[in-house]
A and B are shown apart, each in its own frame.
Chain A
Amino acid sequence: MDVPPISRGFRSRRREQGLTDRIPPGQYVTTDFPVLSAGPTPQINLEEWTFALQLNGWVLGEWKWAEFQGLPQTTIKTDIHCVTKWSKLDTIWQGVSFDDLLKAVDLGEAPFPYIMAHCDGGYTTDVPAADLIGGKGMIATRYEGSPIPPAHGGPARLLVPHLYFWKSAKWVRRLRFMEQDEHGFWESFGYHNHGDPWKEQRYDGD
């Protein structure tokens, strides 16, 4: 493969600032928060918004917005990593942890090992339950102390920060438990099914 010409004097604004143990391989730190969407930002009416946990044909639990806000809230500070190579450090999110969602429907553990997230606009992504429990995943509603802006997934997005950020599905409405894994929007189309940034699992075949 050809080595591309180096553009003298071009420096990425995404500099690694001596934080190599926090930055997964191939990533560059940014202070921006780029927006990437597979479709238009849905206009979501909070009066009509609901969030559900689903098992086959059964709705295990469904919450309207006010009810959802009444569930136990968790705040985390975490780094996020996009497959397009930017990483953003120390981002603060607030929402309902997956563990608390299971408790809210009287489940001690996930009934099936896999989950598909379904979102307004049709986006989907699959995540193993094992990657959501133990505080690893939440349904986030606030970013840096304010409601998540629509372009960044508001009113609610899935947040699974230890995996590439395409898994943190924007505009999430439903988590469906699955006995067998199924591939979501990007996983069925070139991208890695698991997406661990520390193993650089970007693409199907990596």
Chain B
Amino acid sequence: MREVIVETSRVKSLLLEVAGWQGHLAGQHVDIRLTAEDGYQAQRSYSIASPPEDEFVTLTVERVENGEVSPYLVEELRSGDQFELRGPIGGYFVWTIAMGGPLCVVAGGSGIAPLMAMLRHRDWRNSRIPAVLLYSSRTLEDVIYRKELDAMARRDPDLQVVGTLTRKQPEEWTGYRRRIDTSMLADVCFPPDRTPKIYVCGPTLFVEDVSSFLVELGHDAIAIKTERFGPTGGPAQ
């Protein structure tokens, strides 16, 4: 591990130098495996939050209460520590600028990680593909990458970043103040006749709700790609 970035009180990004890394596509994940001295092993998946253009592989990890692996990664892991990593994995939940747009990404909580890789990739390439992010978090303090997203949106007229805070909102908050629903998606997402590429990532219930709302609005189910996170905050338990 080369660097740690504190994103929120529960979330850190780990910048990793991976031996033999061949590169990846935005949206892919890695499987990591930890082995304790007594032989006990635990395996988890984490989405890669960095774009393919970055030097290091970034995993954004949320510390889960009573978690087995995330507290270790967030609190214990030090530069020089080793663990096994397999990847990059997954070709379904992937976006590259070559795939075109417009791009609509919908994130719930730590589901922002693979979508951030996509937005960072788009930003790195100075792409003009129209893109919108709808990001649902509980409170302002839980918004991961907030400063970076604000900066991206400010300098890029083709990127719109819209947030909703579902539990608590500061007075001056100008975003939405409720769970994502059909009317919010209708306002924020590109309409079906523009055939946007849609990616939804977050907890299972969130993903299933958002997908069905999008289908209700007339989007083709095939155009909506989903990734469900388990309670550990990555694609696999």
Q: Which residues of A contact B (CB under 8 A)?
A: 4-14, 16, 28, 32, 85
Whether A7 contacts B68 by the Cβ 8 Å rule is no
Cα–Cα distance between A6 and B33 once the two chains are bound (Å): 10
- Given the interface contacts A14-B40, A28-B40, does A8 sit within 8 Å of B33 by beta carbon? no
Q: Using CB atoms, name the residue of chain B closest to A32.
A: B66
Total number of B residues with any Cβ neighbor in A under 8 Å: 19
Contacts of B140 in A (CB 8 A): none
Contacts of A11 in B (CB 8 A): 36
- Given the interface contacts A12-B68, A13-B68, does A6 sit within 8 Å of B41 by beta carbon? no
Whether B36 contacts A12 by the Cβ 8 Å rule is yes
B193 within 8 A of A: no
- Nearest chain A CB to B230 CB, angstrom units: 11
- Nearest chain B CB to A36 CB, angstrom units: 9
Contacts of B145 in A (CB 8 A): none
B35 within 8 A of A: yes
Cα–Cα distance between A14 and B37 once the two chains are bound (Å): 13
Contacts of B81 in A (CB 8 A): 7-9
Contacts of A10 in B (CB 8 A): 34-36, 42, 72, 76, 83
Q: Using CB atoms, name the residue of chain B closest to A8.
A: B81
Contacts of A9 in B (CB 8 A): 72, 76-78, 81
Cα–Cα distance between A32 and B76 once the two chains are bound (Å): 22
Cα–Cα distance between A4 and B34 once the two chains are bound (Å): 9
